């Protein structure tokens, strides 16, 4: 038994140290950097919390972090709400012999460059883009669309959705849709169909059976989809830089500016640590709430 344990530890050791080297090392360096300060062209290595005081006290940083959480939360909500019906349809209403084809179609966006998809959205959302051209052709006033939606570009004083927070939401929702569909589909596939039949035999309607049986059993997939979408969108900086404009920039863009534009690596590290802590708290709270709602302790 000890020999097997040693053999197992020997197999685990290389990837473990590799992961520590590539993940824990840079993370620790970022944390250490956040307690230093930039002194013109040099870094003052005297430990201090001045960067954290400035980050929490500066209204610009607070506004950008709030916008980041709002955009990421909205993207997550939209993506999961749209992904669940798709995953449910594929799992419950598609012939088993055709499910592989549907999954193949869902993953087609992964075949193209992420940057290419962003540029396609720039073509769609531009002032002379596809969306505005269609609205102009059918004589629909842009103001009417903006007032009807309430969250789109007209609320931001723009004549086109491009270069706004709304463009970031649309682009990220499209980009992360497959990431939300797949875990929900896997969770739905694991549901024993006999449980649904038993619920119907006991007098439950289709709606109540869905709420009391299907939805709780699909909760792990929903939680996974929430986290898979929310966490990377908080750190996305390519999409806001390309389609966001001044009103759509997120915390990752500010971190990039601090590191590369302002040569203030300690402040960039501080903002990165704060973003990681906020995301960690939200992720843990989401998991805890999901476990409480599902009755798991």
Residue 52 in contact with residue 270, Cβ under 8 Å?
A: yes
Q: What is the pLDDT of residues 18-66, one digit of tens each?
A: 877 888 888 999 999 999 998 888 888 999 999 999 999 999 999 999 9
As a residue count, the chain comes to: 297
- Torsion angle, CA of 155/156/160/165, rounded to 10 degrees? -110
Which residue in this structure is represented by tokens 């999954």?
103
CA dist., res. 230 & res. 176, Å (int): 9
Q: Measuring CA to CA, how many Å separate 11 from each of 4, 7, 8, 18? A: 11, 6, 5, 12
Vertex 14, ends 11 and 17: CA angle to 5°? 135
Question: Using CA atoms, how far apart are residues 92 and 192, in angstroms rounded to an integer?
Answer: 11
pLDDT tens digits, one per residue of 178-235: 999 999 999 999 999 898 888 888 888 888 989 889 999 999 999 999 999 999 999 9
The answer to whether 65 touches 251, Cβ cutoff 8 Å, is yes
Set out the domains of the chain in order of their start, with CATH numbers: 68-126+162-293 (1.10.3720.10)
CA pair distance 108, 105, nearest whole angstrom: 5
Give the pair of three-digit tokens for residue 77.
């909500």
The residue among 108, 157, 160 whose CA lies nearest residue 129 is 160
- Largest pairwise CA distance in the chain: 78
User: What is the C-alpha separation between 166 and 151, in angstroms, rounded?
Assistant: 7
Question: pLDDT (tens digit, 9 = 90+) per residue, 101-156?
Answer: 999 999 988 888 888 999 999 888 877 777 777 777 777 666 555 554 544 444 44
Rounded distance between C-alpha atoms, residue 261 and residue 2, angstroms: 55
CA distances from 30 to 98, 262, 281 (A): 47, 17, 19
Which regions of the chain does DSSP assign to beta strands (E)? 37-39, 42-44
Predicted model pTM? 0.86
Distances (CA, A) of 3 to 12, 14, 36, 183: 14, 18, 47, 38
CA separation, residue 152 to residues 72, 129, 141, 142, 158 (Å)? 16, 16, 14, 10, 9
Average pLDDT, the chain: 87
Arithmetic mean of pLDDT, 88-94: 95
């Amino acid at each position: 038994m000890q020999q097997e344990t040693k053999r197992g530890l020997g197999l685990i050791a290389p990837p473990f140290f590799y992961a520590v080297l590539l993940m824990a090392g840079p993370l620790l360096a970022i944390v250490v950097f956040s307690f230093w300060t930039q002194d013109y062209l040099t870094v003052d290595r005297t430990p201090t919390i001045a960067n954290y005081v400035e980050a929490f006290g500066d209204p610009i940083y607070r506004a950008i972090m709030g916008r980041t959480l709002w955009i990421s939360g909205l993207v997550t909500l939209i993506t999961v709400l749209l992904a669940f019906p798709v995953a449910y349809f594929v799992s419950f209403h598609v012939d088993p012999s055709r499910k592989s084809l549907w999954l193949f179609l869902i993953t087609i966006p992964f075949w193209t460059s992420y940057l290419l998809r962003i540029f396609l959205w720039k073509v769609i959302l531009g002032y002379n883009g596809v969306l505005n051209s269609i609205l102009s052709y059918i004589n629909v006033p842009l103001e009417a669309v903006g007032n009807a939606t309430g969250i789109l570009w007209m609320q931001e004083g723009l004549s086109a959705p491009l270069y706004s927070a709304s463009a970031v939401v649309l682009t990220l929702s499209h980009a992360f849709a497959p990431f939300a569909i797949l875990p929900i589909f896997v969770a739905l596939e694991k549901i024993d169909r006999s449980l649904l039949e038993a619920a119907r035999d006991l007098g439950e309607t289709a709606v109540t059976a869905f709420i009391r049986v299907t939805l709780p059993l699909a909760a792990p997939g929903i939680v996974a989809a929430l986290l898979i979408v929310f966490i990377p969108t908080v750190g996305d900086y390519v999409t806001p830089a390309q389609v966001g404009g001044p009103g759509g920039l997120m915390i990752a863009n500010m971190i990039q500016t601090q590191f590369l534009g302002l040569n203030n690596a300690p402040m960039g590290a501080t903002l990165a640590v704060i973003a990681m802590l906020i995301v960690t708290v939200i992720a843990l709270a989401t998991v805890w709430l999901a476990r409480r709602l599902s009755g798991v302790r």
